[in-house]
Structure 1
Amino acid sequence: MYLTASRPDIMFVVCACARFQVTPKTSHIHAVKRIFRYLKGQPKLGLWYPRDSPFDLEAFSDSDYARASLDRKSTTGGCQFLRRRLISWQCKKQTIVANSTTEAEYVAAANCCGQVLWIQNQMLDYGFNFMNTKIYIDNESTICIVKNPVFHSKTKHIEIRHHFIRDSYEKKLIQVIKIHTDHNVADLLTKAFDVSRFNFLIASIGLLNLRSFICGEFN
């Protein structure tokens, strides 16, 4: 779990395994061993933070609808960037059972919004104003709910605490922008992928071989 603070590529699988640490089975042990084999094969992957480029705050939100086989709860995923520098990421099973993909995405977007507002307040202490931050979401219905209060009657079953994202949008603290699923890097934190898609996502969030990169910089 401590390693996920610097290796977002294992965040989803570690969180999935952690759900069974009270009553683990043999299958869970095999999954943990696979994590260690992956880490052994990729020991030099890490996040690189260059200092010589400007940055703006932006975020990506995603959810994996009802993939938890035991209770059919969805997984929330979110990540926040200063330009292309990944500074924060989240993976968590939702506390409610979502009735639709839209509801699961809406809950995930609200969680991401809360993290963005916290980062905005932190950066104000350093003299940076990141109001009207862009949050990229790959679900059109979720964006409609955030933007259009007419949809309120259809969302009363969602817990009230998640509706603050609409309030943040109306105050122009955030923007919600549609992004194609293929380009939503928060996917990495919500589900498993094949090798090619996985490699594309870890490259997109800024994970690279630090040893070869640093050697190349100095050479």
Structure 2
Amino acid sequence: MVTEFDALVRNHTWDLVPAPPDCNVLSNRWVFAEKTNPDGSLEREKARLVARGFEQIPGHDFGDTFSPVLKPTTLRLLLSIAVSQAWPLHQVDISNAFLHGTLNEEVYMRQPVGFIDPGHPDYVCRLRKSIYGLRQAPRAWFHCLSQALRDFGFVASKSDPSLFIYKANSVILYMLVYVDDLVITSTDSRVIQELMVHLRSRFALRDLGRLSYFLGLEVHYTPAGLILNQRKYILELLERSGMAHAKSISTPCTSDQLTQSGSDLSPAFENPTLYRSIVGGLQYLSFTRPDISFAVNHVSQFQQSPSDAHWAAVKRIMRYLQGTITQGLLFQRSADSQLHGYSDASFASCPKDRKSVSGFAVFHDTNLVSWSTRKQNAVARSSTECEYRALATLASEVIWLQALLAELGQSPSTSPVLWCDNLGATYLAHNPVFHTRSKHLEIEFHFVRDRVNKQQLHVRYLPATDQLADVLTKPLTRQSFRNFCSKFHLSEVPLAGA
């Protein structure tokens, strides 16, 4: 607490003033936490003074609160580029980040408990800088950091505002920002050190060296490249769900479970809060585990009123993770920088509303950088319609990735290829063959054919047996599931010292 309070004082976070009449004075509290290493050992203990931002009044002591959040796809794409180019990956942590943001509004807060000024016990803190808990704190900090990066020569990406790009002569430097955690890669390690000097002139920071642990993601380097893994987080989820000693299983879901979870006969699960907590954790695990994407999407649809059947489906996912805890997403070195994607859909697969499920997977050369499983918004009238909707969703993602790569100066030399296993959908993408059964799709998805006509995208047919997105739309047999997962480059993390 003393260390944190001293940092607040050094930063001139507030001025002690008499409380103005009719002002809104926020209360505060101390929050304590332990920060751990990837192996679970204690790194350090932390104390933070947190304002009770829920007491703030909109339009009075806060206005805009938006602050960008890093897109997982952007991080995976940046890792793919860095590995392919053999660039170093560096990590930085900004200390007391939120204390650097300057407030534009008048915000008053009580003096911290345990640190009341004996000479002015009735005074309040008029905040000059943001602190944790304020509604506008993330926005104020991001604006402060953005200005520091612009002063160095960075430009914010239009495709993802959390990505900053520096280009000077033959030097390229990329930085990803997630609140106070920074990931940096560059063609020149010396420029990274110059950036460190610049940032130290503005902020207190910890240079963590080579990227190894970021947002709960463990980074393991191999001769082939690197593997992203969330072993520590899986262990925590297994403990929270009471599944730490459960027997492992070979697939995360079955067709029978889909039927059972769609039934209204199963009794309500007695602990819906636990259900939501575990499902939320599984959603975060999907960051590096496309193999659980379909199963997690399915159980996520029942968070409002989960049943025992839904909890059984969650436990099956946990049992699958128990047996695959050391698996991670492999990023391999490659001289190519091409994009290609796969889209698939399961027609009318939901037993309750007969909506279809879309799935896509996008590769940056051999590295999987983006994937999705999502129930479609409308009921499709045919398999061609649901497949075309899935293709359109894939096209949107690939177009965005093209724009991002262009900003990074890494544009592919050829147009991306989108693979679809439905002949009707591929025909619709190439030809104006709309008629009474498909004309309602023309306006909504005409942009796919427009991009194809301009040679900006290529749509190709492939057999269902080669459709990698199949695993994202439905349960598969054990052998088929393993086959498709291997093509996603899910690999075992090497043992320490091996």
TM-score by length of 2: 0.42
Q: 2:478 aligns with which of 195, 208, 214?
A: 195
Aligned CA distance change for structure 1 residues 159 and 90 (closer, same or farther; 3 Å): farther
Matching residue of 1:141: 424
Matching residue of 2:460: 177
Matching residue of 1:22: 304
Q: Secondary structure at the match of 1:48?
A: strand
Q: Secondary structure at the match of 1:90?
A: strand
Which segments of 5 or more consecutive residues in structure 1 lack a partner in the other structure?
A: none
Deviation, structure 1 residue 75 = 0.4
TM-score by length of 1: 0.93
User: Is the contact between residue 434 and residue 442 of structure 2 (CA under 8 Å) also seen in structure 1?
Assistant: no
Give deviations 1:76-109, integer Å, cap 9, x for gaps: 1001001111000011000010000000000000
User: Is the contact between residue 60 and residue 78 of structure 1 (CA under 8 Å) also seen in structure 2?
Assistant: yes
Q: 1:81 aligns with which of 360, 363, 388?
A: 363
Matching residue of 1:70: 352
Deviation, structure 1 residue 55 = 3.2
Residues 1:161 and 2:444 aligned together: yes
User: Is the contact between residue 48 and residue 210 of structure 1 (CA under 8 Å) also seen in structure 2?
Assistant: no
Aligned pairs for 1:123-138 (under 5 A) are: 123-130=405-412, 132-138=415-421
Q: Which moved more, 1:42-51 or 1:93-102?
A: 42-51
Matching residue of 1:43: 325
Instruction: Supply the AA of the counterpart residue of 2:435.
Output: S
Aligned pairs for 1:49-128 (under 5 A) are: 49-128=331-410
Deviation, structure 1 residue 158 = 2.4
Give deviations 1:25-69, integer Å, cap 9, x for gaps: 110000000111110111011111123442311000100100001
Aligned CA distance change for structure 1 residues 159 and 27 (closer, same or farther; 3 Å): farther
Q: Secondary structure at the match of 1:135?
A: strand
Instruction: Supply the AA of the counterpart residue of 1:44.
Output: T
**How far apart, CA to CA, are the structure 2 residues paired with 1:194 and 1:54?**
33
**How far apart, CA to CA, are the structure 2 residues paired with 1:101 and 1:12?**
19
Instruction: Supply the AA of the counterpart residue of 1:86.
Output: L
Aligned-residue CA RMSD in angstroms?
A: 1.5
Sequence identity of aligned pairs in percent?
Answer: 34
Matching residue of 2:56: none
Q: Which moved more, 1:113-122 or 1:43-52?
A: 43-52
Deviation, structure 1 residue 162 = 2.0
Give deviations 1:174-202, integer Å, cap 9, x for gaps: 00011111111000100001111100010
Deviation, structure 1 residue 23 = 1.3
Instruction: Supply the AA of the counterpart residue of 1:176.
Output: V
More helix by share: 1
Q: Which moved more, 1:6-15 or 1:45-54?
A: 45-54
Deviation, structure 1 residue 208 = 1.4
Q: Secondary structure at the match of 2:286?
A: helix
Instruction: Supply the AA of the counterpart residue of 1:54.
Output: D
